[in-house]
């Protein structure tokens, strides 16, 4: 090319035409990226399911898509070909063996429509931008669960009491239960706290009454379940407070007579919240200076079972023990910058972990399984939520536990223990609802069959599959790796005042 030809071409060159081409390409690319982020989440989750098996944690592909669970306007969302849990065909179904599936008909309520929620659980109202975590439903592998029908439950609870006892994760579940039930009540003023107390974490107990049904849904803060008190005379100076592992919490007198009891404990049973703060363990009048946290936890569970056996009429009261709720701090723990704020999907890469790495799971399994000779303990229902909850790293409050005006929390102060509501605890309550209705239906079924009454009682207490005896089901083998020293954050309501500077 000669110099003259090059100059002619250069004169004909229009830089604006090139710029417009680049600009057009940029806009198209921007639109493509925008469409990707705003795709319906079903396109992202198609073919991905989480399956929590008793012996493994695995993610399966196209065997069943989340889209295969249709959103039905009726009270139940079903998968074709599976028996209904409440019918006879579902008697042997292990409802804790299943999958998280996408369901457009969820959540069961909206936080802005429920006044019975702590600010800390109102993630959406506190600025969380996504709502994907509210759209997952728990689907058992071998049967269909009934969808939680608040009107049905309220009728069943007419003139009855439901009591939740435990730590603030138990409170998380209690508030979920309140909101689900209140969604069926048009006159919200008919729901009130009997002592006029507001929803606040700084209250030892709260009792909400549904006036039109004359039922109460109660919460008692007892993070250890056993008595916390001053050390006995002669105790070493470093003992600031003791846990009476052989005596139930002082509020236990108020639990008696309830028709449904839901217990939980575990998050406070660690070195940070006990021995490091000067809290040791006591049996009788003696402080057990050499007792480990794990052994003390086991002893307290034994105390719970003994209390249930001696103070609860299991023919009239249904007792649940909810297992440990996993935490999901990444890159640290609650006090060292651990985070979960970027998690918007359930965990797609769950790996097998030995139960020995999860002390709370192993301890509760050892104690509960060891009570096979205790006829009362055999009737206790295990809400075995640990393995099913493990993949739900997307459901925590993370940065969004402060009121919207205060803005998101600092990145180094995240809450990866508690759950957004609506969210994961709603699924725990759907399981509770199903087990409650199962017991009710079986009572009705066998009330007309005296010869089968004994067998009926055995089945009522054993909703986890056919067994030789009605023993408690062992905790599944595969569990999440225990995060050593994990602690509940922003739980100042549950701090023991005598060493609140050490425990938050």
Query: Residues near 390 by Cβ (< 8 Å), separated by ≥ 6?
Result: 52, 57, 326, 347, 350, 479, 480
Active-site residue identified among 103, 347, 415, 426: 415
Query: Rounded to whole angstroms, how far apart are CA atoms 383 and 428?
Result: 8
168 carries an active-site annotation: yes
Give the CA-trace dihedral at 142, 144, 148, 152, to 10 degrees: -120
Assess contact for 230 and 242: CB atoms under 8 A: yes
Residue with tokens 């017991």: 439
The rounded distance, in Å, linking the Cα atoms of 61 and 74 is 28
Residue 246 catalytic?
no
Q: Which of 237, 34, 235, 51 is nearest to 142 (CA)?
A: 51
Q: Does 418 qualify as catalytic in the annotation?
A: yes
With b for 16 or more beta-carbon neighbours within 10 A and e for fewer, the 128-163 pattern comes to beebebbbbbbbbbbbbbbbbbbeebbebbeebbbb
Tell me whether the omega of the peptide bond preceding residue 107 falls within 30 degrees of 0, making it cis.
Answer: yes
Q: Given 418, 427, 461, 482, which residue is catalytic?
A: 418
- The whole-angstrom separation of Cα 308 and Cα 217 is 19
d(CA 215, CA 218): 10
Please give the C-alpha separations between residue 187 and each of 20, 182, 191, 192, 210, in angstroms, as whole numbers: 60, 9, 8, 11, 10
Which token pair is 31?
A: 């639109």
3-state secondary structure at position 147: coil
DSSP H or E run through 45: helix 41-45
Q: How far apart are the first and last CA of the chain?
A: 79
Query: Helices 424-447 and 168-182: crossing angle, nearest 10°?
Result: 70
Q: Do you find a cis peptide bond into 453, omega within 30 degrees of 0?
A: no
Q: How many residues does the chain have?
A: 504
For 137, the token pair is 């439903």
**From 168, 325, 339, 427, active-site residue:** 168
| Residues 6+ away with beta carbon under 8 Å from 391 | 50, 52, 57, 100, 346, 347, 348, 350
Residues marked as catalytic: 168, 415, 418
């Amino acid at each position: 090319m000669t110099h003259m030809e090059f100059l002619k071409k250069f004169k004909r060159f229009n830089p604006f035409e090139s710029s417009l081409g680049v600009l057009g390409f940029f806009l198209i690319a921007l639109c493509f990226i925008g469409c990707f982020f705003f795709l319906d989440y079903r396109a992202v989750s198609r073919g991905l399911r989480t399956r929590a098996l008793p012996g493994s944690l695995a993610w399966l592909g196209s065997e069943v898509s989340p889209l295969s669970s249709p959103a039905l306007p009726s009270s139940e969302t079903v998968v074709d070909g599976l028996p209904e849990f409440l019918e006879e065909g579902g008697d042997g179904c292990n409802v804790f063996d299943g999958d998280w599936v996408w369901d457009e008909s969820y959540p069961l309520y909206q936080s802005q429509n429920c006044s019975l929620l702590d600010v800390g659980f109102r993630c959406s109202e506190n600025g969380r931008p996504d709502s994907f975590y509210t759209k997952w439903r728990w689907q058992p592998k071998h049967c269909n669960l009934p969808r939680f029908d608040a009107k049905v439950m309220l009728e069943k609870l007419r003139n009855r009491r439901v009591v939740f006892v435990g730590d603030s994760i138990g409170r998380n579940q209690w508030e979920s239960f309140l909101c689900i039930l209140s969604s069926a009540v048009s006159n919200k003023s008919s729901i009130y706290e009997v002592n006029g107390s507001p929803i606040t974490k700084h209250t030892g107990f709260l009792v909400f009454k549904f006036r039109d049904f004359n039922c109460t849904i109660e919460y008692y803060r007892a993070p250890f379940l056993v008595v916390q008190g001053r050390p006995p005379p002669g105790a070493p100076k470093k003992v600031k407070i003791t846990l009476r592992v052989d005596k139930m919490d002082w509020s236990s007198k108020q639990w008696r007579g309830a028709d449904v009891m839901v217990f939980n404990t575990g998050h406070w049973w660690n070195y940070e919240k006990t021995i490091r703060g000067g809290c040791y363990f006591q049996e009788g009048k003696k402080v057990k200076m050499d007792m480990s946290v794990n052994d003390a936890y086991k002893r307290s569970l034994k105390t719970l079972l003994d209390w249930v056996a001696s103070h609860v009429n299991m023919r009239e009261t249904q007792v649940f023990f909810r297992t440990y709720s996993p935490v999901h701090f990444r890159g640290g723990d609650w006090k060292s910058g651990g985070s979960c704020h970027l998690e918007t999907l359930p965990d797609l890469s769950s790996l097998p972990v030995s139960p020995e790495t999860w002390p709370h799971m192993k301890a509760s399994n050892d104690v509960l399984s060891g009570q096979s000779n205790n006829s009362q303990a055999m009737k206790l229902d295990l809400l075995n939520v640990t393995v099913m909850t493990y993949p739900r790293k997307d459901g925590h409050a993370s940065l969004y536990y402060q009121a919207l005006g205060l803005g998101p929390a600092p990145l180094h102060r995240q809450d990866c223990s508690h759950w957004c509501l609506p969210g994961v605890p709603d699924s725990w309550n759907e399981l509770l609802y199903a087990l409650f209705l199962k017991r009710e239906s079986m009572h009705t079924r066998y009330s007309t069959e005296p010869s089968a009454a004994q067998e009926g009682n055995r089945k009522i207490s054993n909703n986890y599959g056919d067994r030789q005896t009605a023993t408690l089901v062992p905790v599944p083998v595969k569990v999440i790796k225990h995060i050593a020293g994990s602690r509940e954050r922003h739980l100042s309501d549950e701090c023991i005042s005598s060493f609140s500077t050490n425990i938050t």
